[in-house]
Structure 1
Amino acid sequence: MEMRRRFMKEKLLTPPNICTMLRIVGTVGLLLIRPLTLPFYLLYTFCGITDVLDGTIARATNSTSEFGARLDSISDLIFYAVMIVKFFPILLEVLPVWMWYCIGAVLVIRACSYVTAAVRYHRFASLHTILNKATGFCVFCLPYMLVQDFALRYCEITCVIAGLASTEEFLIHLLSKEYEPGRKFIWKR
């Protein structure tokens, strides 16, 4: 029993994983707050900071792990799901119909990427490519941009970047012989 507690503390309850878990808790907290309010922006910003810090801390302390990478991906998916719940009604009013078709296409490509990875590697796989990170940053900034005059243009640019990122990841999973979790680009360096 003591050895199990020690394993949990040393391997699972590392500072970067705790940071990721705080993001999950913060994300769930966002469900309770009205969007585009000061409390929402404060908690939302906290979630964004923890998203940046977990990987930075893991690399700086040489405590990266498969569990941490999966937890981060799961945290990202939970965050996106909550953002869909909170912002879908707002975006429904703001975005034209054609933009929804573009978003749908991006989501289909992303789903194909996940299914391809599941079939080829027998696991959930979400790569942290440069384009995926750019997409994450753009999507994260969306609530701040929705109150700006250029909100529609910003959504268009975000959709293009997300489409490129989804296509790149899909092609990586489709063309790679094995799962490469550290892959940053479609081309190998």
Structure 2
Amino acid sequence: MKLKKYIPNILSILRIICSALLLFISDRIIFIFLYFIIGLTDILDGFIARKFNIESELGARLDSFADFVFYIILFFIFTRLYNQIMTVNYKMVLIGLLFVHLLNLLLTKLKYKKFVFVHTIANKTSGILVYFSPAIILFKQSNLIIWVIFLFIFIAALEELLITIISSEVNLNRKSVFCK
């Protein structure tokens, strides 16, 4: 079955579409449904690719791009809808995180002639934290928890930047700066 090899990429594209739709949805039930689909497709695309041995560089890049689109859209949603929760300090940290990620993208484009997102353990963990951050921020509203999330995401972004700086070749699935 040839269609099977495209399923992970289709799921990543679905995640991009659902992320974009979040900007236009005002109904909370539909928003939560789309948000759930985004999380589910993020889990399933990589799982299916590994399970059926249909991993590809295109798939890894598409997955990372879908994550990046989701994070950017989530940033805009939070600054628009939850302006009272998102203090200036939070916004500045988020802009700083975005800057580090964009710097890494620029560096990978210059160094490897293509945009690269590395799937480190820290990046995957920070993705989980970002995904659950709306619930954490809305229901816990603990500044300490929010700052710990920001710190972890920042460390993951710096690790990815360091990997780009020290690596001579691209390895999208490098687990950490401490692993080859």
Query: Could you state the TM-score of these two structures normalised by the residue count of structure 1?
Result: 0.85
Report sequence identity in percent. 31
User: Are 1:22 and 2:25 an aligned pair?
Assistant: no
Cα distance in structure 1, aligned partners of 2:3 and 2:58: 9
Q: Note the C-alpha offset of 1:110.
A: 1.8
Among 80, 83, 86, which residue is 1:95 paired with? 86
Pairs within 5 Å for 1:89-128: 89-128=80-119
Query: Could you state the TM-score of these two structures normalised by the residue count of structure 2?
Result: 0.89
Cα distance in structure 1, aligned partners of 2:142 and 2:36: 19
For 2:75, the aligned partner's letter is I
Q: Note the C-alpha offset of 1:43.
A: 1.4
For 1:115, the aligned partner's letter is L
Alignment: residue pair count? 180
Q: Report the secondary structure of 2:138's partner residue.
A: coil
Cα distance in structure 1, aligned partners of 2:87 and 2:76: 19
The 1:151/1:41 distance shift into structure 2, 3 A limit, reads farther
Q: Note the C-alpha offset of 1:25.
A: 2.3
Cα displacement string for residues 41-95 of structure 1 (whole angstroms, at most 9, x for unaligned residues): 1210111011000000000000001111121122112212221222112443213
The 1:179/1:133 distance shift into structure 2, 3 A limit, reads same
RMSD, aligned CA: 2.1
Aligned to 1:158: 149
Among 37, 53, 57, which residue is 2:48 paired with? 57
What 5-or-longer segments of structure 2 have no aligned partner?
Answer: none
Cα distance in structure 1, aligned partners of 2:124 and 2:140: 25
Cα displacement string for residues 15-46 of structure 1 (whole angstroms, at most 9, x for unaligned residues): 111221222222222222127x2321121011
Structure showing greater radius of gyration is 1
Pairs within 5 Å for 1:34-73: 34=26, 37-73=28-64
**Larger deviation, residues 150-159 vs 117-126:** 150-159
